Structure 1
Amino acid sequence: MATNITTAAVLGAGSMGSGIAALLANGGIKVHLLDLPSDGEDRNERARRGVEMQLKHHGFARPEYAERIVPGNTEDHLDRLAEAEWIVEAVFEDINVKRDTFAKVDAHRAPGTPVTSNTSTIPLSTLLEEASEEFKADFAITHFFNPPRVMRLVELVQGPATSPEVGEKLRQILERDLGKVVIDCRDTPGFIANRIGTFWMGAGAQVAFDQGIVPEQADVAFGRPFGVPRTGVFGLFDYVGLQVAPHIWNTLLKALPAEDALQDFGVTDSPQFTELLEKGYTGRTAESGFYRGRGEVYDFEAHDYRPKQAFEVPKDPKELMESGTPEGNYAREVFRLTLKYCLDTAAEVAPTVEPIDVAMELGYGWKKGPFALADAIGLDYVASLFDATPELLEAARAAGGFYVDGSVLGTDGQLTERAEREGVLRVSALVEGAEVIAENAGATVYKLDDGIGVFFYKTPMNSSTDDVTGLFTKAGEWDLKALVIANDEERAFSAGANLPRLAEISGPHGDEAARKATIRQGIDGLHALRRAPYPVIGAVRGVALGGGMELLLHTDASVIHGETRVGFPERNVGLFPAWSGPVRLLERLLELGVSDAHKVAFHALLNVRPVPAFNVDFWRENDRVIMSPDHVVEQALELARELAEGYAAPTDAELPLTGEELSYTEGSETDKAIGEALASVFAGEGTATEAELADRQVNAASDVLARQENADRAAHMAKTRKPLNN
């Protein structure tokens, strides 16, 4: 994995500091993790505990990545800072502690080394009051969100003295090496995400207290209808930790002027918060908070926990807000207040409304930020929520929306082009105007000007229907230099086969000929891709499951986001992978010299639990596992052009069979029957050709799907998207 830097240093081994260190290690970067020296024999104990914390909480993509971190302390090992190409400060949020840390860093870093602070509460101008001019030129704030491995948002704050080269280097590291989405923030209190997010949480809690709305009622009302995570406001307070909230609120309120609307929502001083904190009910850091477990909620009248009540609300936010119900009245007021605050503060915190939306989407998990949500609800209705329409909202109505045809509303009220992130390609834009060389209801194949083809799914979650696999069978006929399988569906490279069709043709009364034809066409289609006279490259992110994983195994190479969930969940649908996934996986394991390759492949093909691509050990030399899901398309195109030079298609496999008994002893008789069917593909003496193995898969897969129990699994999964453990 190519990186912009090879070595970094992190000062502070608490939750955030150790999390940032683990993130850097996941990116292939050596990290010096330094904290205060301990009093005992091991002076590096604090840093070691930070590494152990991240191992416990899965901050490392693979446990062995922890070996990339070198623990140390800030008295004995400051000389290590000279080796670092980026230094991150993540010490306690105390200005004196931070300034003392910066002085030590400045004395030991190599000239020109970027230094950043992970502060979320102290302005950059305050941090740098005692810094040298050279230090100011190399300094910025990079505010990560916890946990750093999971949360993609990073707020970047540059000062007036920050050099453009440092800002650009940081952006490259954060976006490309670490897979983050960077938003530029002005040096204002709380920056963007916490400023807006804190207001929303404060307003959401205070309005509920004022209106007599109980926590679970509030979280249902201002939850899924608005694209807000199911935690809602009160569940999020529990997640953050109620004991942390007063510090966050008080710090932000002190930094904001008296007229700022957030001053009206200092909820952490409310009787409700005080009562919970006095009892030690701090949320996820204790046994309970507003909620206890999944089934109880705190009752402030009874001063004890009670069973949660069930509340039903319309799925459409406008319908909910117009419903006249307590839930609708609550949701309307929280939305109105939150949007009003965004409108009032927008010009202070950002040049356009887009960074605010991105901050709430990536920092707080909203599906749409407040401005995009207002567009979706309808600006005329949104304007009716206010006695006097806010100026920026009126500007959006005049412009036709906050987002209009690739433009976004600036906080000055004027439409402007949306900022593009370097290397982030939308496939729909890439193929616009390109030659269509093949197409059906399942997919389209485009030919770009340089001869590279793009295979673009049209199916939900890029599932491989008969139309898709039928198009694959024509791959040898296309005049291309290379083919990239890519799409704009961030959730899936391919989620596998067409389950409704599979269920339709399964069971003892199903159409055996149709069943075999569907399986055969999947095998033939992937075989045609593999034997095409040009390289086939996957741009892989989201999930690659079942048939999608088999497709990935048939590519010549792929660019794979490391957090992509990959695997073979076919046993959940009453089947085993039957589109030559067994052939490709066995072939790879044999090439890698894996002992008991047949047994290893057998159990991997029956393991229904997807794993991150980081944790897969059979990627090839040309496969690239990267940190950024947003750059897989760009890198897949680059890889396609590289492999097109002097390309020769692989020959068909002839693989050894095994006389070893392969059996699946877990689960039900249905599971065992699936295991027996897969074992029959590998069983025998001598070797089998690709064609022979294909015949075995078709017959074994068809036979197992003819069982009623297996057909029931397929039908249940197609209907409910949940496995039937029959």
Structure 2
Amino acid sequence: MSKRRIKKVAVIGSGIMGSGIACHFANIGVEVLLLDIVPRELNDAEKKAGLTLENKVVRNRLVNDSLKHALKSKPSPIYHQKFADRITTGNMEDDIKKVAEADWIIEVVVERLDIKKQVFEKLDKYRRPGTLITSNTSGIPIHFMSEGRSEDFQKHFCGTHFFNPARYLNLFEIIPGPKTSQEILDFLNGYGEQFLGKTAVVAKDTPAFIGNRIGIFSIMSLFHAVKAMDLTIEEVDKLTGPVIGRPKSATFRTVDVVGLDTLVHVANGIAENCKDDERIELFKLPDFINTMMENKWLGSKSGQGFYKKVVDDSGNKEIWSLDLNTMEYRKNKRAKFDTLEKTKEIDKVINRFKILIDGKDKAGDFYRKTFGALFAYVSHRIPEITDDLYKIDDAMKAGFGWEHGPFQIWDAVGVEKGLELIKAEGLEPASWVQDMLGSGVSSFYTVKEGATYAYDIPSKKHEKVPGQDAFIILDNIRKSKEVFKNPGVVIEDLGDGILNCEFQSKMNTIGGDVLAGLNKAVDLAEKDFDGLVIGNQGANFSVGANIGMIFMMAVEQEYEELNGAIKYFQDTMMRMRYSAIPTVSAPHGMSLGGACELSMHADKVVAAAETYMGLVEFGVGVIPGGGGSKEMALRASDTFRKGDVELNTLQEYFLTIGMAKVSTSAYEAYDLGVLQKGKDIVVVNKHRQIATAKAHARLLADAGYTQPVKRKDVKVLGKQALGMFLVGTDAMEASHYISEHDQKIANKLAYVMAGGDLSEPTEVTEQYLLDLEREAFLSLCTERKTLERIQHMLKTGKPLRN
């Protein structure tokens, strides 16, 4: 059978979702045709310009406006603005014939069956036989849509439900129609995971599919509980946020962002179409939701929802909350619970659930009630919405940003304990749960030989979850493959001669334990292995150096110790660069400051597409001190070309640090010079990252990796560059663009990157630049304003401009 390739995609409908999907295909290098309808009338600007409805600009206005709006939105739907060039726009009348060139057509028009059917009738005339055709519906049954279409159409047709925003939410539900061929489902499952970077889940054609069925139940169940338990919306958001591994926006803030009308639309769809659902009464809207809908308090889009931004008489902005008893907005009330205090020292979310359901306060009551209801509900959805329990967990993690799915949480509290919670709520679990315990299986999941196994109801035993072969899951191998451990890192054997060094500190900050662990990892790899990966699967790769430790040393004026600590950081970075084995860094999420420096000193970087990387030390009043300032000077020197204005090249690298620029994707990190084209690579699916990094470490080793020779040829420009930088910072301070302290930091950086005040351009060693960098870093640590900046960052997590 010939291999199916996707070179061109046609997206029909350019609303928020359609434009988002178009942008994500452009992100991965696919050519996109984005079509929408022709406007029925001219707008004022067109009338003024004397245009007619026949004019091409007018005919493509809707699609062009939608795409322009999407590209300006934040967070951006596109990895890099230039990727938008891969999208061509058009309209459904003039350009419909062009769908014949597409390998995949995705319909994203309004959620009305009659309109969708009309669109499919049109598309069926022009699509090539064998072309994939899918609908991004979130609720209309798939089997209704393909009725009356050609045999070839029905065979290649199914639902492909992206979650909004398409770039950031990883759930990709695939819903077969009555005649969808298995080959198409298998292809989409593989393509979604490997190319789109998604968690692909094949769902059944039931209302709201998997993610929204469970997610909306969870939210509606809270809507009913909030008044019954006399909780405020702040309290619910405190209880359902990061403490249980859910997004910061928790419940009510999330609804404000998504839009209450969107949620109500899906809830009503479930209420109307799931008459046999044993908890159908929960999908009926409580009074306060009806009132909010009548008042058009829909959330962010209408300016108020459960929260509202209020400006007081002095012009200060505050966020007020809705009181669900009075239906009036009031100042926020701080939410505090003893049960939550007990979990503060527990870093791993999965270990908190036992304590939370044991709470003796309102929080404990809340968790027992909501988890009892959730466990019962998900048990009854099998086999209705899926035959596999792991698919429910996958959908909730990828679509709703939960760190752990319902069955994983149930396992964490214990299956028997979960049954007690269900009974206490006056509910019954599905009979298969009791059958599972009766057959001697006491958990939904188990791990064997580094792979996850989930309970399979028909066979009554654990079966290996498919699709893991391209992944390395560190949680699954940590215990059995551990080679070394200290409080900051775990070093694991990934197999095939490659080690992995995984950070385990709070927010993966880089302090003494992590540096000792990195050095140990290089020692072990040089002695008994062929390569080293530095990678983890935490929320973020690392937020950088442990600034708390730097602050304590600086406040106590332990400058010798501080000098030693900075030198240790620099030496560790150089150790990674000049080791006898290849080192590969695998950054993802926030990879800031010291974490960015670490990646810049690896032989290769395998970055996740969602990597937010930059040298941000200016924000805490210092310059990059772990080799970052040196490295930017070195990279500038390596890009000098004959006839270049070398000062301009150096200035770009200087500004990357001076403006604390952070990439909003790995592709933008190339522009900043912190990733290097032709050397570093990007993977779209974060789950594949460690396995890909391991493969690249192996490739480097097999290619005959030789320990590099230390650099002595870094060209620095001396006084010529220093003079230019000092004039520039002087002008900026004089025009109040930067503060006096900003100028002082910038001048220190200028001195390092110019290589000091040498009388002419000179070639120097890396060590020469490192010594200048360390000296500058240390001197800034003696400044009161730097200490104020560090203290402010430690207290608030935000930079101070003083």
TM-score computed with the length of structure 2 as normaliser: 0.82
Tell me the secondary structure at the aligned position of residue 350 of structure 1: coil
Cα distance in 1 for partners of 2:79, 2:748 equals 34
The residue aligned with 1:21 is: 22
Q: Indicate if the aligned counterparts of 2:397 and 2:403 stay in contact, CA closer than 8 A.
A: yes
The residue aligned with 2:565 is: 518
Q: 1:208 to 1:426 in 2, by over 3 A?
A: closer
Tell me the secondary structure at the aligned position of residue 725 of structure 2: coil
Deviation at residue 32 of structure 1 after TM alignment: 0.1
Give the partner amino acid of 2:539.
Answer: R
Cα distance in 2 for partners of 1:439, 1:276 equals 53
Of the candidates 702, 706, 722, which is equivalent to residue 659 of structure 1? 722
Deviation at residue 90 of structure 1 after TM alignment: 0.9
Give the partner amino acid of 2:757.
Answer: G
1:108 aligns with 2:126: yes
Deviation at residue 113 of structure 1 after TM alignment: 1.8
How many residues matched?
720
Within a 5 Å distance, the mapping from 1:460-471 to structure 2 comes to: 460-469=506-515
1:506 aligns with 2:536: no
Deviation at residue 518 of structure 1 after TM alignment: 2.0
Q: Specify every segment of 5 or more residues in structure 1 that has no aligned partner in the other structure, as ranges.
A: none
Give the partner amino acid of 1:215.
Answer: I
Of the candidates 61, 86, 90, which is equivalent to residue 72 of structure 1? 90
Q: 1:459 to 1:623 in 2, by over 3 A?
A: same
Deviation at residue 54 of structure 1 after TM alignment: 1.0
**Structure having greater relative contact order (Cα 8 Å, sep ≥ 6):** 1
The residue aligned with 1:540 is: 587
The Cα offsets for residues 363-393 of structure 1, whole Å up to 9 and x where unpaired, read as 2232322222223234444322314652344
The Cα offsets for residues 456-489 of structure 1, whole Å up to 9 and x where unpaired, read as 4454444433455456668598168853423333
Q: Indicate if the aligned counterparts of 1:568 and 1:610 stay in contact, CA closer than 8 A.
A: yes
Cα distance in 1 for partners of 2:103, 2:29 equals 14
Q: 1:567 to 1:166 in 2, by over 3 A?
A: same
Within a 5 Å distance, the mapping from 1:558-707 to structure 2 comes to: 558-593=605-640, 596-608=648-660, 610-612=662-664, 613-616=666-669, 617=671, 618=673, 619-644=676-701, 645-647=703-705, 649=708, 652=711, 653-657=713-717, 658-663=721-726, 664=729, 665=733, 668-681=739-752, 682=754, 683-685=756-758, 686-687=761-762, 688-707=764-783
Deviation at residue 302 of structure 1 after TM alignment: 4.1
Q: 1:210 to 1:570 in 2, by over 3 A?
A: same
The residue aligned with 1:94 is: 112
Give the partner amino acid of 2:689.
Answer: V
Instruction: Give the fraction of aligned pairs with identical amino acids, expressed as a percent.
Output: 29
Give the partner amino acid of 2:329.
Answer: Y
Q: 1:458 to 1:226 in 2, by over 3 A?
A: closer
Cα distance in 1 for partners of 2:580, 2:599 equals 18
Q: 1:278 to 1:388 in 2, by over 3 A?
A: closer
Give the partner amino acid of 1:488.
Answer: N
Q: 1:495 to 1:12 in 2, by over 3 A?
A: same
Of the candidates 173, 177, 197, which is equivalent to residue 195 of structure 2? 177
Q: Indicate if the aligned counterparts of 1:253 and 1:262 stay in contact, CA closer than 8 A.
A: no
The Cα offsets for residues 505-536 of structure 1, whole Å up to 9 and x where unpaired, read as 324x4333322222222222222322334433
Q: 1:301 to 1:553 in 2, by over 3 A?
A: closer
Cα distance in 1 for partners of 2:210, 2:621 equals 48
The residue aligned with 1:347 is: 383
Q: 1:379 to 1:719 in 2, by over 3 A?
A: farther
The residue aligned with 1:491 is: 539
1:255 aligns with 2:273: yes
Tell me the secondary structure at the aligned position of residue 292 of structure 1: strand
The Cα offsets for residues 549-578 of structure 1, whole Å up to 9 and x where unpaired, read as 111112232111122111112233442112
Q: Indicate if the aligned counterparts of 1:527 and 1:554 stay in contact, CA closer than 8 A.
A: yes
Q: Indicate if the aligned counterparts of 1:221 and 1:328 stay in contact, CA closer than 8 A.
A: no
Cα distance in 2 for partners of 1:75, 1:348 equals 41
1:311 aligns with 2:335: yes
Q: Indicate if the aligned counterparts of 1:431 and 1:448 stay in contact, CA closer than 8 A.
A: no
Of the candidates 288, 292, 304, which is equivalent to residue 276 of structure 1? 292
Tell me the secondary structure at the aligned position of residue 116 of structure 1: strand
Deviation at residue 91 of structure 1 after TM alignment: 1.2
Within a 5 Å distance, the mapping from 1:174-323 to structure 2 comes to: 174-257=192-275, 259-268=276-285, 270-293=286-309, 295-299=319-323, 302-313=326-337, 314-315=339-340
Deviation at residue 319 of structure 1 after TM alignment: 5.9
Cα distance in 2 for partners of 1:445, 1:290 equals 46
Cα distance in 1 for partners of 2:576, 2:770 equals 15
Give the partner amino acid of 2:398.
Answer: L
Cα distance in 2 for partners of 1:434, 1:210 equals 49
Give the partner amino acid of 2:16.
Answer: S
Q: 1:643 to 1:38 in 2, by over 3 A?
A: farther
Cα distance in 1 for partners of 2:146, 2:500 equals 49
Q: 1:301 to 1:128 in 2, by over 3 A?
A: same
Q: 1:396 to 1:505 in 2, by over 3 A?
A: farther
The residue aligned with 1:120 is: 138
Tell me the secondary structure at the aligned position of residue 384 of structure 2: helix
Q: 1:542 to 1:480 in 2, by over 3 A?
A: farther
Cα distance in 2 for partners of 1:204, 1:186 equals 26
Which one is further off, 635-644 or 365-374? 635-644
Cα distance in 2 for partners of 1:706, 1:525 equals 24
Which one is further off, 693-702 or 419-428? 419-428
Q: Indicate if the aligned counterparts of 1:8 and 1:31 stay in contact, CA closer than 8 A.
A: yes
Deviation at residue 696 of structure 1 after TM alignment: 1.1
Within a 5 Å distance, the mapping from 1:374-389 to structure 2 comes to: 374-385=410-421, 386=423, 387=426
Tell me the secondary structure at the aligned position of residue 22 of structure 1: helix
1:133 aligns with 2:167: no
Q: Indicate if the aligned counterparts of 2:533 and 2:694 stay in contact, CA closer than 8 A.
A: no
Q: 1:568 to 1:407 in 2, by over 3 A?
A: same
- Root-mean-square deviation (CA, aligned residues, Å) is 3.2
Q: 1:192 to 1:519 in 2, by over 3 A?
A: same
Within a 5 Å distance, the mapping from 1:384-463 to structure 2 comes to: 384-385=420-421, 386=423, 387=426, 390=429, 391-395=431-435, 399-405=441-447, 406-412=452-458, 414-427=461-474, 443=489, 450-463=496-509
1:12 aligns with 2:13: yes
Deviation at residue 609 of structure 1 after TM alignment: 5.2
The residue aligned with 2:402 is: 366
The residue aligned with 2:48 is: none
Which one is further off, 708-717 or 562-571? 708-717
Q: 1:500 to 1:281 in 2, by over 3 A?
A: closer
The residue aligned with 2:348 is: none
Tell me the secondary structure at the aligned position of residue 662 of structure 1: helix
TM-score computed with the length of structure 1 as normaliser: 0.90
Q: 1:230 to 1:499 in 2, by over 3 A?
A: closer
Cα distance in 1 for partners of 2:552, 2:326 equals 54
Q: Indicate if the aligned counterparts of 1:23 and 1:148 stay in contact, CA closer than 8 A.
A: yes
Q: 1:650 to 1:60 in 2, by over 3 A?
A: farther
Q: 1:276 to 1:504 in 2, by over 3 A?
A: closer
Cα distance in 2 for partners of 1:625, 1:588 equals 20
Tell me the secondary structure at the aligned position of residue 383 of structure 2: helix
Which one is further off, 447-456 or 530-539? 447-456
Q: Specify every segment of 5 or more residues in structure 2 that has no aligned partner in the other structure, as ranges.
A: 41-52, 310-317, 344-352, 641-645
Deviation at residue 605 of structure 1 after TM alignment: 1.6
Q: Indicate if the aligned counterparts of 1:141 and 1:157 stay in contact, CA closer than 8 A.
A: yes
Give the partner amino acid of 1:70.
Answer: T
